[in-house]
Amino acid sequence: MDLQLSGKTAVVTGGSKGIGLEVVRTLLSEGMRVVTGSRTITDGLRATAAVPVAVDLSTPDGPATLIDRALAELGGIDVLVNNVGIGDAADVAQGALLNLVDLPDSAWQHTFDLHFYTALRATRAALPSLIERRGTVINVSSAGARLVTAGPVDYNVAKAALNALTKVIAEQFGPQGVRAITVAPGPVSTGVWTDPDGFIAHVAAQQGLPHDAFAKQLMATLGASTGRLSTPAEVARLIAFAASPNNITGAEYLIDGGVVKSA
């Protein structure tokens, strides 16, 4: 199916690996021109035709730096995919291992800087171009935003705030032609789950359990109806559909294999 994205432009935050890298590849395959920002430029990203920008997006000036570079490269932005997240596995693991009393303010601040403020700042910087081009903002959230106690609590709360931000963008800028959509993955077969030094492995080690056994136990506890992880390619295809011309805005699309049972 032709998604009518050929010739359009996109900015993807956190496009060096995982879901972000697959989004970059998918949008390029649809004929888009893509600029992506991340702290490191991986070999996988270098192998694409995207324009990589090395930038720390968790800093106050990082998102605007990326958007300025993208505007210089692309001339304008049709789609902004706010995808960056997770970061250091040990940082995220704190939110799963510590309770509300013990999790320090610094952890909450770091998590919100990366998972909420990055999206807010990138969106604000891109809005003039998005308004001009009647563009689309796609916020990559998490099924955890609906299951805030089942995982890293600071991460899940930050993602819940990101979901609310999508609604605000859609409502405030819809009359000017800007759409905003949330895509919320559940467990995905990225390094977060599979790497020996990823988040799941880190939590498993803290609990004295083998990585594979803990991952299987956690999947069973989450109760995915499909019984499997989603793939980055599946998430990327949903994001590409959301970016395509349509009349969807303010909506949340779960891609979690049925982890979230409520409507």
Catalytic residue among 129, 141, 142, 230: 141
Query: What does the CA dihedral 180, 193, 148, 40 come to, rounded to 10 degrees?
Result: -50
Active-site residue flag, 117: no
Catalytic residue among 16, 117, 129, 155: 155
Please give the Cα distance from 47 to 33 (Å, whole number). 15
State the residue for tokens 């605007």. Answer: 64
**Which 3-state string (H, E, C) describes the chain?**
CCCCCCCCEEEEECCCCHHHHHHHHHHHHCCCEEEEEECCCCHHHHCCCCEEEECCCCCCCHHHHHHHHHHHHHCCCCEEEECCCCCCHHHHHHHHHCCCCCCCHHHHHHHHHHHHHHHHHHHHHHHHHHHHHCCEEEEECCHHHHCCCCCCHHHHHHHHHHHHHHHHHHHHHHHHCCEEEEEEECCECCHHHHCCCCHHHHHHHHCCCCHHHHHHHHHHHHCCCCCCCECHHHHHHHHHHHHCCCCCCCCEEEECCCCCCCC
Active-site residue flag, 159: yes
Query: What does the CA dihedral 255, 256, 259, 263 come to, rounded to 10 degrees?
Result: -10
Catalytic residues: 141, 155, 159
